[in-house]
Every structure is written in C-alpha cells, then in structure tokens.
Structure 1
Amino acid sequence: MSKKMFVLIVALMSISLIGIIAVQLYWINNAVESKKEQFENDVIKSLGSVTQRINESEQMSLDREYEGVLQNKIAPDEAQIKNFLFQEIDTINNQKFTYGGTILEENFKMPTDFLDNDTIIIKRITSKNDFSQSTLIKGPDNLFASTDEKRYSFTRRLKNIERSEFAEFYKNISSSKPIHQRLSNRELNATIKDELQKRGINLNFKYGVYTNDGLATKLKSGYYTINTKESYEYPLFLNFDNNPKYLLYVTFPTKNKHILSGISGILLLSLFFIFIIIIAFSSSLYQLIQQKKISEVKTDFINNMTHEFKTPIATINLALDSIKNPKIINDNDKVKRYIKMIRDENKRMHTQVENVLRISKLEKNQIDISKETIDMHDIIEEAISHVDLLVKDRGGEIKLYFKAIVSEISGNEFHLKNGVVNMLENAIKYSKEAPKIDVFTESTNKFFVIKIKDEGIGMSKNAQKYVFDKFYREQKGNIHDVKGHGLGLAYVKEIVDKHHGTVFVESEKGKGSIFTVKLPLI
C-alpha cells in the first residue's frame, strides 16, 4: 500500500467516524431538548391548574361565608327595592370594609301581535353599589379617626345580579388581604404536588410567592430564592385590571436527573454504539498501521535475506567453476579447499533458513521444548566458546562476572544456549570497534539473572520498543553495514517466554546496550 493511499484511507475513516458521532450527538441533544420542552409544558400546565384551583377554592370559601345572606333574600312579586349593607373589620391590618348595595327589580307586561294577543313579562333589574375601605386608627375617643375611602357607582343589567354583586364585593375584600391570609403554605404545597403528580412529575420541588414588584411573601418553602434560569413562573392572583398581583415560582433541584432518566435507555444505547464505533475505528487504524509496518519489515527482510543468500550462492558458483578447471581438478589440496568452502557456505544458508523456520515453529508451538535441570553457568560458557573466535578475530574480549549463588534452573539446554549465542552475536555485530563484552550473573530468591553488556553503537528509545519483534532492524532498507535478518532477538524472546522468564534491554545511543534475562529458579 502506498503512503498516499494509506493517508487517504485513514482520512476517510476519520471523517466517517466524526460524522457518525456528530449525528449521534445531534439526535441525543434533540432528544434531551424535546424532553426538556415536554417537562416545561407539563410544569406550566400544572401551575395553571394550581392557580385555577386556588382561585376556585377562595371563591367557594367566600360563598360559604356569605351564603346565608343570599339565601335570605325575599323575591318581589312586581317591584321591590332591596338594600344590603355589609361591614368587615380586619384587626390584623387595621382596615374596615363597607359594602352597600341597592337592587331594584321591576316587572313589565308588553302586548304582542305575533303570539295571539299574548303578553310578554319583562323583568328589569337596576343596581347601584358603594364600596369603601377605611384605615383604622385606634385612639382613646374614637375608633375611626381618619378614613381613606374609594367609592364608585355603576348601573348595569344582569340575570343573576345578586350573586354577581357579591362576587365583586368578595374580590374587593380578598384582594386587600395579605396573601398568607388568603392561602396557607400547606394548601399551596399540597395543590402543587397533586397537580404535578397528575402529569407524572414526582419530583421534589421548592416554591416561593413574590409580589409583582419582586418582594418575597411568607408563602415559600424554606429559604427559597428566585433562580431565573431554573425557576418556572406563573401568576397566582390578578388585581382589578387583570394584571398579576402575585407570582408563583417553582424550582426542581433534580430536574436534569429526571429529564435524563426519561431517555436514559436511548442515551446509553447511543453512547454504547458510539463506543463500539470508536473501538472498531481504533482497532482498524491500529491494524492498518501494524500491517504497514509489517509490510515494511518484510520488505527489509527480503532485501537482507536476498543479499545474505546472494553472497554464498556466488561463492559456491565460483568454487564450482574453479573445480571444473583442468589445472585445479587435478590439485587435491585446492579441490578440498573449494569443497570445504562450498560446504561452509551451504551450512551458512542452511542456518539462516533454520532460524526462520525455528521462529515460525516456536510461534505455532510445533517445537517440543523438553526441560531438565541445567546449570546456567555451564550454558553461558558453552555459548561463549561458540563466539570466542569471532571476538578474538576482531581483537575484542569477553569478561565473565559469575556472582550467582544458585545457577540451576529447569530448562532446555539447546535453546537456551542458542539464545545466549544470539545475544552475544548481537553485541559483536553492533560493536564498531573491537568488541568488549561483559557477562554478569546474579541470583535472587526466585530468579537467575543474566546481563550481557556491550560498548557498541546502542539504540534509540523507539528501537528498544521493537527490538524483540520479528524481522525488526533499526537500519531500514537494503543496508548491509550490519548483517542479519532481525530474527536473533525475536528468537531469544520466544525462548525466554517458553521458560516463563522475561527479557528487556537498556540502551543509549553511542554508549552501548545491556540485555537482561530473568529465568525462574527451581
């Protein structure tokens, strides 16, 4: 896959993911807003019903209070004048209310031509009323020392004039009282709760009644304060010109929780799908990146393997051509030398193939690693003997520091020895100067520890993360200043894992590396 195609695929996947998440969030937000709007409508309807019930309750209470007066009226036969006079004294507010009413009822008979000379009786009702409100000033000599009267008169025709006139009187009396005398906290709280429950709102609430000037009244729950953003407002009582005299405010502390609980199923389902989409996208992106890395690593491996095979094949071909030469074929020494060269190069190619196959079999658990009690000091010494000539040939040395008190473990001698050899060869390959290698051993309560230190070129922090991966080499491309296929340390990792141990590296560019292996003791 080309770099441009890879970037294009990642960009398209990212745009798709962002689009899907944006659509999901849009629908979630719409659902929440719709639920909020429905909640607000239910609350406003409930408060409207609360106001209506309170007004009706007050009217019924006044009707009962003055019902005796209405029931004791005497209906006239033809025409009669009825006079009413009521007085009510409010000792708390020091106010007196006086209501006077005069009602004239007259019956008239009018002849008609279209009903067989029958007559129609028409009743005419004329009324006049007076209302006064006085402020009481208590003094030693007189009870009403000063008055502030509001009087008005009007005439009108109504079918049920008596009750209508009394309703006007009731309204005047009620509106002049403080609201806490007209309505109790208990009644208001119970009415609000009942109306909310009718619409499925079973939430704790707080309320407060304020005048239209913003002054608090005694009708409130606890220490209630108005929150303009969270409170719902509705007029409670109207004055003479039908403007709100009092405003009822209701607040729900757990409103948001209630709204979200109504759509919790859809919300959780949407969030779950968004999470699945993100996981799938991340996994796909990770796999793409990994596949790209593997593709690059395999390309490097093929290039290096081709180069490694190319040299021995060319050497073998030259040796065979030389043997065919009549001058050399009769020279036994030269023939033997060329045959040995062919055998060595063939063995070299065989070893490289075996390394690749061995890694593959280890990953598939196709190699049976039998374990027995072995001494790791002996294994290390045998491994050093395999690379000793290489080290001396480059003028280097290997120093041993065996400090482990216990060195016996349960393991496979062949594979552990190959693992140590691979680490030593790695230290030799990546040493530009004469290799100087130190091998340390130590033991803890549970582990036998091997440390192989070199003074080579070291590696970057990024390389340390992948150094035990198959085919990984820090040099990229067909670079052969350091030979290898990136299989040696991968093989070490597989062997150590099979022995339930751990292996890691500490390195710094230009200062060498330290490979540490921990193997469990018997």
Structure 2
Amino acid sequence: MGKKLFVLLVVLMSLSLIGIIFVQAFFINNTLENEEKNFTSNVIRSLSSVSKAIEKVELLGYNKLYQEIIESGKKPDTTELKASIVFDTFDEENNRYIRNRNAISEESFKVPSQFFDIDFDTISISKFTNIRERKVFERTEVDGKVSIKPIETIKNFSAMDEIDRAIYKSSYREFFKDYPVYKRISSEEVFNLLEKQLEANNVKTNFEFAIYDEDLATKVQSDNFEKTPNSTIGVPVFLDNNNESDFILYVDFPQRRKFLLSSVLGMIALSIIFTSIIILAYSSAIYQLIKQRQISQIKTDFINNMTHEFKTPIATINLALDSIKNPKIIGDQDKVKRYLKMIKDENKRMHAQVENVLRISKLEKNELNISKERVKLHDLLEDALTHVELIVEDRKGYIKTHFNAEKTSVLANETHFTNVIVNILDNAIKYSDDEPKIDVYTENAGTNVLLKIADQGNGMSKQVQRRVFEKFYREHTGNVHNVKGHGLGLAYVKRIVDDHQGYITVESEKGKGSVFTIKLPLIS
C-alpha cells in the first residue's frame, strides 16, 4: 500500500469515527431536550391539577360551613332569585302548552365565624337551591278566539347543573377573595397535593414550592424554596371570576438536571462504552498498521544491507578462487596461502552475520539456552578488550580502563556477556569517523555494579536513542551502507542484559559521542 493511499485511508476512517461520535452526541442531546420538554409538560399538568384541587379544597370548606349552619337550624336572612331560564313547548298531540322554568334560589345566612380564622365577628354564606318548575296549559279555541288555561304545575328541587355550579363558584370565589393565603390553605396541604400529582405524572424528584402574591412570597412555602429561572415553574391559583389571579404557585426542582440525566443515563453509558471500544480498536489497528509499515521498511533496509555485505565477500571468494586456478599462482605457495586465508576470513565473516541473525531469532523464541555462573566483570572486560584492541591501534585510537569497582562478582554467561561488551565497543569504533577514543569505567552502586563505556564518536539524536535497541533499527544517513551492520547488535545486547536481570541505558549527543551504562546485580 502506497504512503498516500495509507494516509488517505487513515484520514477518512478518522473523520468517519469523529462523525459517528458527533451523531451520537447529537442524538443524546436531542433525547435530553425531549426529556426536558416532557418533564416541563408533566410539571405544568401536575400544577394545573393542584390548582383545581386547591379550589376544590376551598369549596369543600365552604360546603362544610354551610352544612354546619343548616344543622344548627339557622334561617336565611334574605332570599333572592339568582337566575331564571324559561322556555315553552307546544304539544300538538294533546293540544297543550308546556312551560319549563329553571331558577336558582339563593338564601343568605349571616352567622358567627366558625370555620375560618378571620377578623370579623360574623360572616355571610349563601345556600343555593336549584328550582325546576313545569306548568301545563290547555289550549282552547271558541269562535276563533284562543284561550289558555293552566291545568297542572309541577315543582322540584334538584342538584345544581353546570350553569348553576358556575353561579355557585362565582359566589364562593367572592367570599374568599379578601382572605390571606395562609388562611385559605396550609403548606402541608399544598405539599401533599403536589407530591400526589407529581408522582402521578412520573415526576419523581425532590421539589420545593411557594405561593407568591404578585412578586412577594407568602407564608405558604417550603423551607428551602429558591426561585431560579431555569428550574422554577409556576401556575396561577385562587382564580377570580375572570379566571385571573395575583397568586402564583411556584415549584422548583433542585435536582432537575440530575433527574433528567438519569432518564438517559443508560443510553449515555452504553454509548460511551461502545464508542470507547471502537476508539481503542481503531487506535490499536492504526498503531499496528504504522508499526507494520515501519517494520516492513526496516526489514527492507536489512535485506539491502545483508545483500550488500554478502555480495562483497562472495565476490572476494570468487576472485580468490579464480586466482588460485591460475597456473602462475597455484605454484606460488605464499600466494595460495594468502588467498586461502582471504577465503577463510570472508567465510567466517558471513558465518558470523548468519549466527547473529539466528541468535536474535532464538532469543525471541526463548530457545537460546544461557547458563550462568559466577564470574568477575573485570575478567570479562579484559577478555573483550583483546578482541578489539588491534583494530583500535590500527586506527590510531585508544581504549582506557578505569576500574573503580571493588566488588565485581556477577552471575553471567561468559560467552554471551563478552559478546555484549564486544558489540558495544565495536559500535564505538564503527561510529567514530576519526580515531576511536574509548573509556571504560566500573563502579559500585549499592548492591549493583555499573559498567560505563564512553566514546567520543558521532553520537546520536534523541529520536535515535529511543529506538537504538530495536531489532533491525538503524539510523538513516542518506546511504544505508555508510556503516556496515544490520541493526541487530544492540538488540542482541539488550536481550542478553535483560536475561541477566540487568538494565542498560544510553546517553548521547549528536557530534559529541555516547555513553552506554549497564547495571548488573552483584552476588555475594
């Protein structure tokens, strides 16, 4: 897959994922808004029911007072007809007129105040009676003259109909109009009515309430009521005959937001969980793709380097063999020995490279058997230095030792740990453009011994330092064959040090050299 196509796919998938997240957020927010609208609608419906219930409570109180007056045997002070509705019909079959009359009789009582705690000695209350009267007239006609004679009258007193109730309601509204709110209904009654209606409309959250007279709070309120713009809802109560009122019942919900969120909490939780899984899976997939591309590039570089390094010794071996075949050379024993030595050295070089690759592979599969025994770190260093000192001398450089550690006994595999030291020294030599200058330090640090190998070579950048122990990794210098190698040496070093329960770090600065530090646990 080309780099441009890969980047395009990553961008498209990222935009799609972001789009999905925004769509989910939109739907959750839309659901929350709908829940808020439903909540407000349910509260308003509940408050309307409470307003009617408060009026009903007053009406029941008015009726109770009326019953007490009737039972006491009081007689009305005045009686008047509040309304009268008359309509006539003609019965053709019986040749009769029928007149229906519907009226309300109001009997006014003036009695001492008993039911309400008010500042008057007496109060006026009315008794309403619905009077229904039916008169039947017989129609006669003599010599063209029509006469009507009453023949029957029926009266009854029935329950009030809808029109009558309206008159009755108007009367008691006038009766209570000037009473203080706290004498018309108590805070406990309002609380009970609100609690019942809100629960019936599925509004199950804590609430505070208050009745306001215009903009002033009355005594009818809960202990912790605070009027807030976003969560307080009001409805008129104690309506007058024009269906208007100065009194507003306000209800506030301190935990309104929490209640609304709880209604969509399941949806939000599932959305977060599934979105998180998608993001993690997507991030992991992208990381693996990028990692695979890097590994693919590193392996390509490795193959190119390996091919180049094998190509040279193979060409040298072929040239040496062709030379030996030459009749003039085959008789010269010195030249034959020289060419044979070249063949052996190049073959050994290729064998060493193959062994390096195999060792790393075995380490990764935990197939490399590393037996350890008690050894002196200084002895390992002395042995490793003999492998590289001729090369250093040939390049007019030096290796100085600073053995300051008094205790150097460690549990290690002599062969593999010697290879570790040689690999680090070999890197110090290869990555020094001028004569290699290397210092080797040892010192004790608590129960550990520290080995530091410092050079004054090319050094490396911070980015390279972070990846220098990765398999196949090599710093790009524009020419991958500038320094021979496969990016396996330091990977092998780290694996062996880790296997010895040790720790390796590198400190470096571009153009100023590097310092490799190995910390190993001491044994008694």
Q: Distance in 2 between matches of 1:3 and 1:80?
A: 96
Structure 1 position 94, deviation (Å)? 7.5
Runs of 4+ in 1 over 4 A off after TM superposition: 68-76, 78-83, 87-108, 117-120, 122-125, 158-166
1:94-152 CA distance string (max 9 Å, x none): 798767899997957332569xx995637699xxxxxxxxxxxxxxxxxxxxxxxxxxx
Match of 2:366 in 1: 365
Q: Which residue of 2 aligns with 1:243?
A: 244
Superposed, which structure 2 residues align to 1:178-217 within 5 Å?
A: 178-211=180-213, 213-217=214-218
Matches within 5 A, 1:160-179: 167-179=169-181
User: Could you tell me how far apart the structure 2 residues matched to 1:4 and 1:457 are?
Assistant: 34
Distance verdict in 2 for CA 1:183–1:80, change over 3 Å: closer
Q: Structure 2: how far apart are the matches of 1:106 and 1:39?
A: 47
Distance 1:519 1:86, change over 3 A: same
State the partner residue of 2:137: 111
Q: Does residue 290 of the first structure (1) align with residue 322 of the second (2)?
A: no
The answer to whether the 8 Å contact 2:104/2:164 transfers is: no
3-state DSSP class of the match of 1:433?
A: coil
Identify if the C-alpha distance between structure 1 residues 111 and 369 changes in structure 2 by more than 3 Å, giving closer, same or farther: same
Q: Which residue of 2 aligns with 1:340?
A: 341
Q: Does 1:434 align with 2:460?
A: no
Amino acid at match of 1:44: I
Matches within 5 A, 1:327-476: 327-475=328-476
Matched, 1:28 2:28: yes
- Give the Cα separation in 1 of the matches to 2:58 and 2:410: 96
Tell me how far apart the structure 2 counterparts of residues 222 and 512 of structure 1 sit (CA, whole Å). Answer: 77
Distance 1:353 1:234, change over 3 A: same
**Deviation string, structure 1 residues 292-339 (Cα, Å, up to 9, x no partner):** 111111111111111111111111111111111111111110011001
Q: Whole-Å Cα distance in 1 between the matches of residues 253 and 136 of structure 2?
A: 65
Q: CA deviation at 1:81?
A: 8.8
SS at match of 2:5: helix
Pairing 1:492–2:524 present: no
Query: Aligned-pair distance for 1:285?
Result: 0.9
CA distance in 1, matches of 2:327, 2:360: 44
* 1:29 counterpart SS class: helix
Secondary structure at the counterpart of residue 434 of structure 2 = coil
TM-score by length of 2: 0.85
Residues 103 and 443 from structure 1, CA distance in 2 versus in 1: closer, same or farther, beyond 3 angstroms? closer
Cα separation, partners in 2 of 1:195 and 1:292, compared to 1, 3 Å:
same
The structural deviation recorded for 1:243 is: 1.9
8 Å contact kept, 1:304–1:478: no
Q: TM-score, normalised by structure 1?
A: 0.85
Q: Distance in 2 between matches of 1:80 and 1:346?
A: 129
SS across alignment from 1:440: strand
Residue of structure 2 in register with 1:136 after alignment: none
**Mapped contact 1:234–1:248 kept (Cα < 8 A):** yes
**Corresponding residue pairs, total:** 486
| Contact 2:128 2:168 survives alignment (8 Å) | no
CA displacement, residues 150-196 of structure 1 (integer Å, 9 cap, x when unaligned): xxxxxxxx869987655433211212112111111111112212222
Measured after TM superposition, the shift of residue 215 of structure 1 is 2.1
Counterpart residue identity of residue 227, structure 1:
T
User: 2:481 is paired with a residue of what secondary structure?
Assistant: coil
Q: Deviations over 1:237-290 (max 9, x none)?
A: 212311232111111112222222233223211110010011011101111111
Report the more deviating stretch, 496-505 or 81-90.
81-90
1:235 touches 1:248 (CA, 8 Å); kept in 2? yes
Alignment of 1:200-279 (within 5 A): 200-211=202-213, 213-279=214-280
Change (3 A) 1:112 1:483: farther
Question: Residue type matched to 1:500 in 2?
Answer: Q
Matched residues in 1 for 2:130 and 2:316: separation? 140
Question: Cα–Cα, structure 1 residues 479 and 120, in superposed 2: closer, same or farther, change >3 Å?
Answer: farther
Q: Which moved more, 1:408-417 or 1:244-253?
A: 244-253
Q: In the superposition, relative to structure 1, how do residues 102 and 192 fare at CA in structure 2: closer, same or farther (>3 Å)?
A: closer
Q: Distance in 1 between matches of 2:447 and 2:47?
A: 75
Aligned to 2:521: 520
SS at structure 1 position matched to 2:254: coil
Q: Distance in 1 between matches of 2:409 and 2:441?
A: 16
1 CA distance for matches of 2:11 and 2:413? 49
Q: Name the CA distance, whole Å, in 1 between partners of 2:190 and 2:505.
A: 75
By how many angstroms is 1:505 displaced? 0.7
CA distance in 1, matches of 2:234, 2:207: 13
Q: Is the 8 A contact 2:170 2:241 kept in 1?
A: no
CA–CA distance in 2 between the matches of 1:422 and 1:404? Answer: 22
The verdict on how the C-alpha distance between 1:94 and 1:403 changes in structure 2, with shifts beyond 3 A counting, is: farther
Contact 1:303 1:477 in 2 (8 A): no
Alignment of 1:497-508 (within 5 A): 497-508=498-509
Matched, 1:321 2:322: yes
Q: Is the 8 A contact 1:427 1:456 kept in 2?
A: yes
